[in-house]
Amino acid sequence: MIFDLIKKRRSVFPPQYIDKEISKTDLERILEAANWAPTHKKTEPWRFKVLRGESKKALGQFLSKKYAETDPRPKQMKIKKLQFNADRSAAVLAICMQRDLKESLPEWEEVAAVAMAVQNMWLCCTELGIGCYWSSPGIIKYMHEFFDLAEGEKCLGFLYMGYFEGDMPESTREPIQDKTVWLD
């Protein structure tokens, strides 16, 4: 049931991933789920770059190096983490947005559509027993140096993905009644 899947969805981080490949068929299914996200004016702004094998290692190296170059006081732990997250993941999806070049709708609506596409992928991953984690490091603004981005396209983050052992981590939420105002 969809409600149970929504409640079960969690961030699962790269240190929790095991060494198990995600099939291309499952990755295609996950991407197809993204493609059915709502989109105002049918701009379908989501774009994804799938990194596996050597390309995800190259991404980790790029992120580590760029962070070390651009942070005035880089931390060794973060340099290692950026490399580790890419290496440990079975796949990394670069989450990109193709801005409507006519700007026929506000940018936030296209960002929201991309976020909904990611939520669809995340729910699909949950159903398939694949853990994932959306990361948007500050160095995301340099991704045009790594990817060949189209005019108006920008990278919004990375969906690190991998199988994991054990149960999905537990979580709680404050009651929705505390966040809702009813107007009759």
* pTM, full prediction: 0.94
Question: Mean pLDDT throughout 143-162?
Answer: 97
For residue 73, what pLDDT is reported? 96
* Per-residue pLDDT, 33: 98
Q: Where does the pLDDT of residue 166 fall: very low under 50, low under 70, confident under 90, or very high at 90 and above?
A: confident
Q: Please, what are the domains in the chain?
A: 2-179 (3.40.109.10)
The predicted pLDDT at position 131 comes to 96
Which one has a higher pLDDT value, 35 or 170? Answer: 35
Read off φ and ψ for residue 154, nearest 5 degrees: -140, 155
Q: CA 14, CA 173: separation in Å to the nearest integer? A: 24
Structure tokens at 116: 């909904």
How confident is the model over 52-106, as pLDDT tens digits? Answer: 999 999 999 999 999 999 999 999 999 999 999 999 999 999 999 999 999 999 9
Spatial contact of 98 and 15, defined as CB atoms under 8 Å apart:
no
In this prediction, residue 167 carries a pLDDT of 81
Write the DSSP string, 92-124: EEEEEEE--TT--S-HHHHHHHHHHHHHHHHHH
pLDDT at 169: 76
Give residue 170's pLDDT band: very low, low, confident or very high (50, 70, 90).
Answer: confident
* pLDDT per position as a tens digit, 7-65: 989 999 999 999 999 999 999 999 999 999 999 999 999 999 999 999 999 999 999 99
Burial class (CB in 10 A: 0-12, 13-18, 19+), 149: middle
